């Protein structure tokens, strides 16, 4: 089992425990600056040290992060400076933070040429109303599966953003899995393309692995 060693104040980051447990990741909490202990326990296993950098104790731990010998992630908004080598995880909903932590734990196996951004947005596909699970530059995964998702089927779609905007998409079913349906996506107009790119970039900014990623790099190789 993967382990996340979390340094945070008592009761802080509530909900992260359950979100990680659903993904098969064990969370161990401490309010003390015991980074060497965490490093010793995680060194031969699969794990990361996660530090709430918004607290005094957290910042003290991060100052000693070079001794960890394992990946260290600081939970901090953009205005808080983190030491070199510490990945940043922007504070947000527990489920989204858990997604990003699993992303780090799975490195490099889960590093994709076009990284996926976790989303929970309404999506209309022909006459079906579903929900996105994640999106990438060239596609998206939706839930739930259904008889509409025939391999190779060309479908009409639209993703609805939180601010009321709508992205019209031409979709093609490329895979069906237990966790949803994978579709190739092509924005229909230039305006749709701009909205789609904005959605991807906004999500990548929250990812500790992909915050500095260039999702267009592969286009110009």
Is-contact 83 183, C-beta < 8 A? no
- β-bridge pairing 180-187 and 166-177: antiparallel
Q: Are residues 66 and 154 in the same domain?
A: no
Alpha helices (runs of H) in 7-48, residue ranges in sequence order:
16-21, 35-42
Which structural domain range is residue 156 located in?
A: 117-213
How far is 162 from 88, CA to CA, in rounded Å? 25
CATH at residue 19: 3.40.50.2300
Torsion angle of the four alpha carbons 188, 203, 180, 217, in this order, in degrees rounded to the nearest 10: 70
Longest Cα pair distance anywhere in the chain, in angstroms?
55
Residue 133 lies in a domain: yes
Residue 219 lies in a domain: no
Phi, psi of 65 (to 5 degrees): -65, -20
How far is 27 from 117, CA to CA, in rounded Å? 23
Q: Are residues 131 and 97 in the same domain?
A: no
Residue 110 lies in a domain: no
**Count of domains for the chain:** 2
Domain end marker among 80, 105, 130: 105
How far is 80 from 65, CA to CA, in rounded Å? 16
| Tens of pLDDT, residue by residue, the chain (221 residues) | 678 888 888 777 888 989 998 888 888 887 665 554 555 455 445 678 888 998 877 887 887 766 566 678 899 998 888 888 788 998 989 998 998 888 888 764 444 455 778 889 999 999 889 999 889 888 899 988 888 888 889 999 999 999 989 999 999 998 887 778 989 899 999 999 999 988 988 887 777 876 665 555 554 44
pTM of the model: 0.57
Residue 146 lies in a domain: yes
Q: Are residues 158 and 181 in the same domain?
A: yes
Residue 218 lies in a domain: no
115 by DSSP, 3-state: which? coil
Q: Are residues 122 and 77 in the same domain?
A: no
How far is 19 from 189, CA to CA, in rounded Å? 37
């Amino acid at each position: 089992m993967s382990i996340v060693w979390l340094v945070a104040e008592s009761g802080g980051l509530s909900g992260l425990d359950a979100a990680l447990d659903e993904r098969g990741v064990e969370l161990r909490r401490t309010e003390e600056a015991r980074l060497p202990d965490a490093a010793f326990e995680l060194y031969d296993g699969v794990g990361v040290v996660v530090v709430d950098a918004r607290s005094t104790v957290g910042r003290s731990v991060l100052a000693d992060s070079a001794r960890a010998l394992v990946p260290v992630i600081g939970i901090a908004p953009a205005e808080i400076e983190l030491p070199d080598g510490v990945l940043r995880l922007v504070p947000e909903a527990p489920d989204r933070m858990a997604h990003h932590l699993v992303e780090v734990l799975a490195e490099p196996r889960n590093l994709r040429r076009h990284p996926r951004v976790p989303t929970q947005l309404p999506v209309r596909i022909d006459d079906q109303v579903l929900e996105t699970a994640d999106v990438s530059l060239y596609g998206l995964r939706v839930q739930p599966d259904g008889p509409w998702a025939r391999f190779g089927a060309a479908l009409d779609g639209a993703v609805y953003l939180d601010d009321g905007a709508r992205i019209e998409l031409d979709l093609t079913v490329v895979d069906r899995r237990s966790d949803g349906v994978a579709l190739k996506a092509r924005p229909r107009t230039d305006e749709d393309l701009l909205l789609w790119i904005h959605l991807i970039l906004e999500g990548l900014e929250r990812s500790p692995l992909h915050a500095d990623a260039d999702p267009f790099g592969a286009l110009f190789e």
